Amino acid sequence: MNEQTRRIYLYTRYERFWHWLQMALIGVLMVTGLEVHGVFVLLGFERAVEIHNFVGITWLIAFFFFVFWLFTTGEWKQYIPTTKKMFTVMRYYGYGIFKGEPHPVPKSKKAKHNPLQRLTYLTLAAVMLPLQMITGFLYWSYNSWPAWGLDFLTLGAIAVVHMAAAFAILIFLIVHIYMTTTGHNVFAHLKAMITGWEDVKADEKVEEWEKAKRGTATGV
């Protein structure tokens, strides 16, 4: 960190734990899922299925704890969508970042995510992950469908949705990994997710973005 930046504690221990745990779980699910579909042979079909099912249930339980944490700590507010500076951020990632322009939305403890990140993470956490988990659970509990009155479902349709969601999450991961390299240096964002500390410019008017966030939350 140099004299033109200041350091803020942005990510709590639980956030970092959840982030890396989820990355590990998704990685294992991707590998075993592809093997189950015959893309390659690594563990053997039966072993891959066992690990995939176990890790999937683990992910589901961990996700419930994450949702509980969000609502008990008030961190759910970090995901409230807003259109303020949305197009400015989109322009930055599409053009400005390659010209060396500063990020238009600085980070702060009360506003960890810019408008584009909020929309992306909200879609991921509220739509894509639940869809993946629900279809995975249904696939795993196929033999119980008649007892649950789910005879109208077809295994083929569930499998297609599950696979489509998996590829959507994979695309997100690829983009997400790339975005971690767009800080003031290649490893800045990665380091922040390990230590919890983020370096921001000392002259950034963080309070203005926080005011914008509060205005959106109250409907202003």
| pLDDT tens digit sequence for 38-96 | 888 889 999 999 999 999 999 999 999 999 999 999 999 999 998 899 999 999 998 88
DSSP strand E in the chain: where?
5-9, 197-201
Stretch 24-46: mean pLDDT, rounded? 92
pLDDT for the residue 202: 65
For the domain bounded by 5-29+57-217, which CATH number is listed? 1.20.950
pLDDT of 215 > 60? The answer is: no
Per-residue b or e along 56-78, where b marks 16 or more CB atoms closer than 10 Å to that residue's CB:
beebbeebeebeeebeeeeeeeb
pLDDT for the residue 17: 96
pLDDT for the residue 184: 78
Nearest to 192 by CA among 3, 4, 15, 59: 15
Determine if the pTM surpasses 0.85. Answer: no
Q: What is the pLDDT of residues 107-162, one digit of tens each?
A: 888 889 999 999 999 999 999 999 999 999 999 999 999 999 998 999 999 999 99
Q: What does R_g of the chain's alpha carbons equal in angstroms?
A: 20
Query: Cβ(195)–Cβ(1) under 8 Å?
Result: no
- The first and second tokens of residue 190, run together, are 């990665």
> What ranges do the domains of the chain cover?
5-29+57-217
- Beta strand 5-9 pairing with 197-201: antiparallel
Numbers of helices and strands, H then E, in the chain: 9, 2
pLDDT of 207 > 90? The answer is: no
Name residue, tokens 């995901």: 79
pLDDT for the residue 40: 86
pLDDT of 208 > 60? The answer is: no
